[in-house]
Structure 1
Amino acid sequence: MRVLVPVNRLPHGWEEARGLDAEEVLARRARHGLNDVRGPSLHPTGQSLRDASRDPMLWFLVGTSVLYFALGERVEGAVMLLALVPLLGMDVFLHHRTRASTEGLRGRLAEHATVLRDGREVEVPARDVVPGDLMRVEAGGQFPADGLVVRGQGLQAEESPLTGESLPVRKRPLERLPPGAEPAVDGMHWGLAGTRLLTGTAWVRVVYTGAETLYGSIIHSAGQEVRARTPLQHAVAHLVAVLVGVAGALCAVLALVRWRQGFGWLDALLSAATLGVAALPEEFPVALTFFLGAGVYRLARRQALVRQAVSVENIGRVSCVCSDKTGTLTEGLLRVTRLLPSPGTSRQALLRTAVLASREEGRDPLDVALLEAGARELPELPGPAREATFPFTEERRRETAVVRQGPGTLLAAVKGAPERVLELCELTPDARREWALRLDALAHEGLKVIACASRTLDAAHWHGGEPERGFDFLGLVACEDPVRAGVEAAVRECRDAGLRTVMVTGDHPRTALAVARRLGLGGANPQVLTGADLEARLADTGTVPPVDVVARALPAQKYALVKALRRQGEVVAATGDGVNDVPALQAADVGIAMGERGTRSAREASSIVLLNDDFGTLVRAIAEGRQLFSNLQRCFLYLLLVHIPLVSTAALLPLWGQPLLYLPIHIVWLELIIHPTAMLAFQAAARPGRLAPVRARPAARFFSWREWALLTGVGGLLACGLVWAYARCLSEGQDVERARAVAMASLILASAAFAAVLTRLRTRTARWVCALSLGLSAPLIQVPALAALVGLHPLHARDGARVLVAVAAALVPLLLAWPWAQGGLSRGRRWRTGQPTMTLGHP
């Protein structure tokens, strides 16, 4: 990586240990702005209040309060204004919950910086750093901005948050700039915002701040993503449109009828407004937004950073996963698993030769594995001085090290491809055939195998060249990339849920097949195709053949696989970590980048970033997405079960010529119960080890006919119970305030009962919400002073019995019909249409 340096941003003598003075700082801040990498944003509370102000309920409260004050009803007007406080507080709280997943970005950014100002070191907020500042970064600290390293020794930085490079990156001071107005400087001389210094103390001359840093550009590009509407969003929008149309028609009819009945325009207006707020379906889009935000939060806790909230829904619809092997299904690190020494050679001698032919610099994965094995098994690591090194090349396919063994004696140690090393050794034909058989057996197990040999040299006669023959064969060393812990169980979970998993790798087919068998991918006989074979099949038939593993795959072939699967109706998630994976990530329904080793391009093209590169995390993310469907449908069922009797009684009784059943304050009261219950009680997390299958249903239907039958039947029964209880109270000569109290108590008890049935009170939050809704409402009904404030009279024992009868008339059928409604979903087919799917049963 090479980055351009605008020379005009650097002060004169930039390479010297001289900081800026106060006047220079002010001038540069005026020119370049604050070092705000996250970009301008409102204060979280201000943002929350702004979002809450869009709630129609708030404006209804303000409007009805003004109306009451105009009529001289000051107590009612004051109560309506006081109702704003809990409603605003609840909206602010819910808004903060939906923002929780973005807090992870703050941990990667420095909050303070140590800079040289006016000849002395001072600590300033990171946002006050300006281009030209000379800042000091200690080991373990984070770079507050992008700048050139001008001083420091033994510097290493962790740059995985930006580049995906999992290994430490060495940093070196820049001695002088290349010529030109904007010379390009190599990445080894840069300290980058959002990365961490691991070793040493670095002095950095700041060049870029704020949105101009590499980290800032990533955040900016993420914010520019186009957010397409998902099938679930379309379905919710359609449902809301229908409900708004019905509510509008009912309000108009009610206002006209009340006016014609002689109640006056004020009563007609209040009746229509009360009904309108009761029927207003604002909870549905709010619930969708909140549930998506809660899903983002849960995925962040599971090491999956969601860049777009709608991705939580998309990943729940996934029916096929195209996964990389290295680093996702496996650890991405080689481990020595077998040592097969030749007759007369010890394991230690074989391993010692392999270590001698390995280098610490460069951090080649094979060398790292051999050095780690040597550190574990050898009493002391070999440390003779090297006389010469002949590194591995694709032509030679071996590496040779010549080391001093003793006075006048050298040892040539070689490791490399077995066929090449065997050519250097003097072996009988039978021995060669025996070693070839062992090599073939190890290769079929998917192991990476190297051979080792050595030869003693006379130092006086060695002229510096690499020996080409006369080596003694010492044996084979087998390495493997171990399967990640938990991946086998995750693959089995996918298979049990009907989720198709295809491993796409550049490895040899035999290696890929061995890994697939260890994982249980594809069952006992995984189907393996090479990328070339897959490409030919797609060109011939246009469809993806039954395949579990695509080996020797090229990026273009991975892209073609994803496109073909989507054409066949699959909802595809694809993982990737490099620039070459970008086409496949963009073509997939859900692109998933690797956080530990993924490149910047891969992250920008993806909608979800796995911070730990683990396939198990991906499966958990899918489980959370599918749980979202179940949670959201239960929430919508609850909302409709409560609103159907609420709206129908609010409309029918006034149309019947009876006094208003609900006053505006009663609607507000009910909304303060319904809103938090819907948002909080249905937030069940996915159960570990149980990935729910996604079922299909026609595109135009949000609920099945069984679900609509359940909703209308139970809601209608509760409405009948409310009308019966209200009418009985009035027929016995009781005042309308007590009749309203019966209706309110019935709705509040039914709300808690419905929530308890739909959630089964699985979570602590559900239990608390239901208990609080009952516990806080009882005093408002039964304490005379409080009841008078809300226009009610306390209930007698007979009234309480009526409440229980009205609720039981709806609750008992709900309990009986619940298994029937669930059974209607169990026979559904697998989802292949890409439409939103809801499951009533537990996942």
Structure 2
Amino acid sequence: MNGLSEAEAARRLRRDGFNELPRGGARTTLRIAADVLREPMLALLFCGAAAYLLLGDLGEAVLMAALAVVSVGITVVQEARTERVLEALRDLTSPRALVVRDGVRTRIAGREVARGDVLVLTEGDRVAADAVLIEARDLAVDESLLTGESVPVDKEGPAPGAVAGSGGGRAASVFAGTLVTRGSGVAEVTATGPRTEIGKIGQSLATIGTESPRLTAQTRRVVTAFAVLGAGVAVSVVLLSAAFRGGWLDAILAGIAVAMAMMPEEFPVVIAVFLAMGAWRISQARVLTRRAAAIETLGSATVLCTDKTGTLTENRMRVAELRLADGIGREPPTGDEASDARLGELVRTGALASAPEPSDPMERAIHDAAGPPRDPAPRLVKSYPLRPDLLAMTQAWRLAEDRPVLLAAKGAPEAIFGLCLLDAHALSTLSEAVEDMGARGLRVLAVARATCADGDLPDSQDAVGFALLGLVGLADPLRPSVPAAVRECRAAGIRVVMITGDYPATARAIAGQAGIPAAAIVTGDELETLSDADLAARLREATIFARIMPRQKLRIVEALKASGEVVAMTGDGVNDAPSLKAAHIGIAMGGRGSDVAREASSIVLLDDDFSSIAKAVRLGRRIYDNLRKAMAFIVAIHIPIAGLALLPLLAGLPVILGPVHIAMLEMVIDPVCTLVFEAEEEEDGIMRRPPRPPDAPLFSSGLVAWGGLQGVAALGLVATMLFGGARADMAVDELRAFVFCTLMAAVLGLVVVNRSFSPSLAIVTRINRPLVGVVTALFGFLALGLWWQPARELLKFGPLHVADLAMIVAGAATLVVVLELVKALARARSLSP
């Protein structure tokens, strides 16, 4: 079965298009621009331009209009970049498909499946396209997405001798978007994209309902409060200015300036950019964020429940030891004819008990140890899959027409022992052997065989009289990065708990290698006997859960949540979906995980590596820290801007800031809030502090107080310069330039202060490329405004002297030093923001 060639698949994709339905969620550049044009800040800019035009000041009107256009351009560029990041993440998180290309099984993005491709389907897969079955093994598919029927539909492959896909109707077909709930199969794609059944009725698989992040809800409340306050103050300014100074147009300009100063448009923009860019940064660590809320929750995780195989270990198994029924350990056969023939029979039977074309690493290892089959063209007659109450599987094979059917079984040692009806002595000997192998970190399977006539095959493997052949020990080395990652998580206050289906001794050995304390082990059988209260008590000390069934994971998650823990849970199978959904942070495996597990999860590990979880937690904490820094800066910077718009009015001084000046300030503040703070490096000791309380608000009283204190200090600096310059009888244009430059210097000072929570001026030397770009642009703008005559006239700036610039620099430096001292005192008293 060679499937399509890569060249033919590419040709069909060019002709038919990608295997995807039209997306309604993507925002084009034109749509982004249209959304930006509806922003209140832009309306204020255009109102200001109109007011200047009515006053006869054509230069100011043109400048305001130009600033409005530049503002639109900056916003569109930022949001388009964010949209590109989101689109890339959507592509990465789309369902995957296992296809046969040039005779080789290859996993590709679902959108790259072409008509004629051969799909390999296994339990938990989301079917990528409409297809007809070539073969099916106990295959059942959930088609509720199409039919509304919740009961899975049994599927049948073609009858012997029939052409694949001919006849059989829906029973011989699978459809895009449906879910494989049992068994496996192979199918040839007949329709992709909008030509599929689901495409014809206009439904979309890409829409997965997600909750609005808690940060968004908090921000919405803050924005509303700021907007109401700003509107009230702006109206008051218009009325007062008109009453005491006369001239409604001047009053309207003053009101526009105050409204622009207090407009809280940065808050939602910062949230959107940080969450999108944060998801992108986490994806660079091979972790995909499927739900924005997971980014803020990562920093609150207190318990991390991880499976063993493939997450802590490399999922690269090999047969390391064999034991016959006598329990004595032996090396795997090497192909030497002098080796014990019973060992060869043991591994060959283990291979026959596995899938004919294995994808599971454990089964591949057994096939590799068994070597090529000795019997020509064996035919699979019947399969007995794993059951929750019997952790064993059996394959029935017709090796030759004149021989009875061979039943090959493998599974958990206790399950196979039960099928073989061992006596007490043999059971004791083999149980000791299993314990010994498990204590060395080996995964242990038992293998048995039986024969029967073709017509006598029972309905259940329990009814077969099996003979035990022996034990197979498989080694799966620990990932080298795991011990350091476990130490990092524990230092961060995150308790690591291993949940595995393996034998307790194996789990204890791997946990010891990984650095997970093995103080207490709870088995699945013991878990069944515990009440909720007893389980809660055991959870306080247990770090290893062994012989756990997938359905029991959900109970563990619920018990941890009831104890007040914030739970992260890993999983890969169909049965893991409930526990992934129930956990605060569901973590699915991207390589070996099923589609249904990925859809139920918050984040996906592309490399199935535990160390990626630690990286994601670290990045989640960094993103949240930087978000708090940006929010504190926004709170702080609006105070001196609003104060400078109000103070001259209250003190009877000339108006310093007009709408054009505040619009220029916004050109600096917007990229600082988003690009600069988002790019800040992590805080020292970020993984040596306890998890953040899950209910801790972003806009905490400490953050608002810290931002308010900074804003008041900056306003004090600006007011000192304003009244000092007025007392020194500075000309109005010179005073405006002096105070505006002071305000710009205060903005930079607040950026420096908020770059780190730690009280250290060494942060100034830490490179932040977006900040370098912003500062360079700022100095260039100020140079033009102060020394280029046309710009000076438009901004109504006067000349500044060296002494004036020195005072501005000294004032900004003083502001930074004072606020850094406040940070140091607050940290010393454990009152750091």
Is 1:721 the equivalent of 2:717?
A: yes
One-letter amino acid of the counterpart of residue 666, structure 1:
H
- Residues 259-282 of structure 1 show CA distances to partners (whole Å, capped at 9, x for unaligned) of 232333222221121011101111
1:464-486, Cα deviation, whole Å (9 max, x unpaired): xx9999x9x9x965213333342
- Return the letter of the residue paired with 1:789: L
1:464-503 alignment to 2 at 5 Å?
Answer: 477-503=472-498
- Aligned residue number for residue 730 of structure 2: 734
1:287 has 2:264 as partner:
no
* Other-structure match for 1:774: 779
Q: Is the 8 A contact 2:119 2:188 kept in 1?
A: no
Partners of 1:657 and 1:77 in 2: how far apart? 26
> What is the CA-CA distance between 1:45 and the residue it aligns to?
0.6
- The residue number in structure 2 matching 1:166 is none
Residue of structure 2 equivalent to 1:178: 167
Deviation of 1:290 (Å)? 1.3
SS of residue in 2 equivalent to 1:575: strand
Q: Secondary structure at the match of 1:209?
A: helix
Partner of 1:525: 519
> Are 1:753 and 2:749 matched, yes or no?
yes
Q: 2:34 pairs with 17, 41, 50, which one? A: 50
| TM superposition shift of 1:586 | 2.5
Matched-pair contact (CA < 8 Å) for 1:644–1:719:
yes
Tell me if structure 2 keeps the 8 A contact 1:493–1:690: no
> In structure 2, what is the Cα distance between the partners aligned to 1:719 and 1:430?
86
Q: Is residue 56 of structure 2 the alignment partner of residue 72 of structure 1?
A: yes
C-alpha distance in 2 between matches for 1:78 and 1:468? 91
Q: What SS does the aligned partner of 1:48 have?
A: helix
> Which of 60, 69, 85 in structure 1 is aligned with 2:44?
60
What's the CA shift for 1:773? 2.4
Letter in 2 for 1:86: V
Identity score, percent: 30
Alignment correspondent of 2:310: 327
Structure 2 counterpart of 1:548, one-letter code: T
Q: Distance in 1 between matches of 2:377 and 2:685?
A: 53
CA deviations on 1:265-304 (whole Å, 9 max, x unpaired) are 2222211210111011111122112111111211222233
In structure 1, C-alpha distance between the alignment counterparts of 2:671 and 2:604, rounded to whole Å: 31
Query: How much does 1:823 deviate?
Result: 4.6
Quick one: distance in 2 between partners of 1:765 and 1:535?
A: 58
Does the residue aligned with 1:205 lie in a helix, a strand or coil?
Answer: strand
Query: Does structure 1 conserve the Cα–Cα contact (< 8 Å) formed by 2:483 and 2:513?
Result: yes
User: C-alpha deviations, 1:649-699, integer Å up to 9, x for none?
Assistant: 211221111111101110010000011011111123558995353344985
**Aligned-pair CA distance for 1:46:** 1.9
**SS of residue in 2 equivalent to 1:261:** helix
Distance in 1 (CA, whole Å) between partners of 2:524 and 2:608 is 24
What CA distance in whole angstroms lies between the structure 1 residues aligned with 2:619 and 2:701? 23
Distance (Å, rounded) in 2 between the aligned partners of 1:553 and 1:821: 48
User: CA–CA distance in 2 between the matches of 1:782 and 1:573?
Assistant: 58
Query: How many angstroms does 1:630 deviate by?
Result: 0.5
Residue 547 to residue 824, structure 1, CA distance change in 2 (3 Å) = farther
2:24 alignment partner, one of 21, 33, 40: 40
Partner SS, residue 317 of structure 1: coil
The alignment status of 1:619 with 2:627, answered yes or no, reads: no
| Maintained 8 Å contact 1:145/1:192 | yes
Rate the CA distance shift 1:391–1:80 in 2: closer, same or farther, 3 A.
Answer: same
Q: By how many angstroms is 1:629 displaced?
A: 1.6
Do the aligned partners of residues 648 and 587 (structure 1) sit closer, same or farther apart at CA in structure 2, a change above 3 Å counting?
Answer: same
Aligned with 1:547 (options 518, 534, 542): 542
Counterpart of 1:833 in structure 2 is none
CA-atom RMSD, angstroms?
5.0
Aligned partner of 1:14 in structure 2 is none
| Residue 564 of structure 1: aligned partner | 559
Measure the CA separation in 2 of the matches of 1:344 and 1:551: 26
TM-score computed with the length of structure 1 as normaliser: 0.73
Cα displacement (A) at 1:72: 1.7
Structure 1: which amino acid aligns with 2:718? Answer: L
Please give the alpha-carbon distance, in whole angstroms, between the structure 2 residues aligned to 1:717 and 1:343.
76
Contact residue 352 and residue 382 of structure 1 kept, 8 A: no
1:247 maps to 230
2:251 is aligned with 1:258: no
User: Are 1:580 and 2:575 counterparts?
Assistant: yes
2:18 and 2:193 in contact (8 A); partners too: no
CA shift, 1:445, in A, is 3.0
Secondary structure class of the residue paired with 2:245: coil
Mapped to 1, the partners of 2:528 and 2:133 lie a distance apart of 52
Return the alpha-carbon distance in structure 2 between the equivalents of residues 602 and 36 of structure 1. 21
2 CA distance for matches of 1:431 and 1:225? 55
Aligned partners of 2:60 and 2:333: how far apart in 1?
90
Quote how far apart the aligned CAs of 1:627 are: 1.3
Q: Cα offset for 1:338? A: 3.8
- C-alpha distance in structure 2 between counterparts of 1:382 and 1:144, whole Å: 32
Number of equivalenced pairs: 724
* 1:92 partnered with 2:89: no
Structure 2 contact 300–694 (Cα < 8 Å) conserved: no
The 8 Å contact of residues 221 and 604 in structure 1, kept in 2 or not, is answered as: no
Residue 792 to residue 704, structure 1, CA distance change in 2 (3 Å)? same
Gaps of 5+ in 2: 1-11, 96-109, 121-125, 136-144, 146-155, 181-185, 385-389, 401-406, 450-463, 756-762
Task: Name the structure 2 match of 1:157.
Answer: none
Q: CA deviation at 1:637?
A: 1.9
Offset at residue 722 of structure 1 (A): 1.6
1:144–1:226 CA distance, 2 compared to 1 (3 A):
closer
- Provide the rounded CA distance (Å) in 2 between the counterparts of 1:734 and 1:484: 70
Partners in 2 of 1:214 and 1:325 — Cα distance? 39
Give, in whole Å, the separation in 1 of the partners of 2:194 and 2:587: 29
User: What does residue range 407-486 of structure 1 map to in structure 2 within 5 Å?
Assistant: 438-449=433-444, 477-486=472-481
Higher mean displacement: 236-245 or 798-807: 236-245
User: CA 1:823/1:616 → structure 2, altered by over 3 Å: closer, same or farther?
Assistant: farther
Report if aligned partners of 2:585, 2:603 keep a CA contact under 8 Å in 1. Answer: yes
Query: Could you say what secondary structure the match of 2:677 adopts?
Result: coil
**1:694 equivalenced with 2:691 (yes/no):** yes
1:755 touches 1:770 (CA, 8 Å); kept in 2? no
| Equivalent of residue 530 in structure 2, options 536, 552, 560 | 536
Contact 1:257 1:655 (C-alpha < 8 Å) held by counterparts = no
Task: Give yes or no for contact 1:579–1:601 (8 Å, CA) kept in 2.
Answer: yes
One-letter identity of the residue aligned with 2:690: P
SS of match in other structure, 1:326: coil
- Per-residue deviation, 1:636: 1.5
Over 3 Å counting, the alpha-carbon distance change for 1:440 and 1:581 in structure 2 is closer
Which whole-Å CA distance do the structure 1 matches of 2:745 and 2:66 have between them?
24
Equivalence map 1:608-687=2 (5 Å): 608-683=603-678, 684=680
CA contact (8 A) 2:379 2:399 kept: yes
After TM superposition, give the deviation of residue 738 of structure 1 in Å.
1.2
Shift of 1:62: 1.2
Q: Deviations over 1:606-649 (max 9, x none)?
A: 33233333322222222222212210111122222322211112
Separation (CA, whole Å) in 1 of partners of 2:249 and 2:331: 103
Q: Distance in 2 between matches of 1:745 and 1:546?
A: 60
Give the C-alpha shift of residue 57 in structure 1: 1.6
Counterpart residue number, 1:296: 279
Q: How many angstroms apart in 1 are the aligned matches of 2:304 and 2:196? A: 35
Counterparts in 2 of 1:235 and 1:280: CA distance versus 1, 3 Å: same
Q: CA deviation at 1:718?
A: 2.5
Are the equivalent residues in 2 in contact too, given 1:779–1:786 (CA < 8 A)? yes
CA distance 1:82–1:686, change in 2 (3 Å) = same
Moved more, 291-300 or 719-728: 719-728
State how far apart, in whole Å, the 2-side matches of 1:417 and 1:511 are. 13
Structure 2 CA distance for aligned equivalents of residues 432 and 701 of structure 1: 59
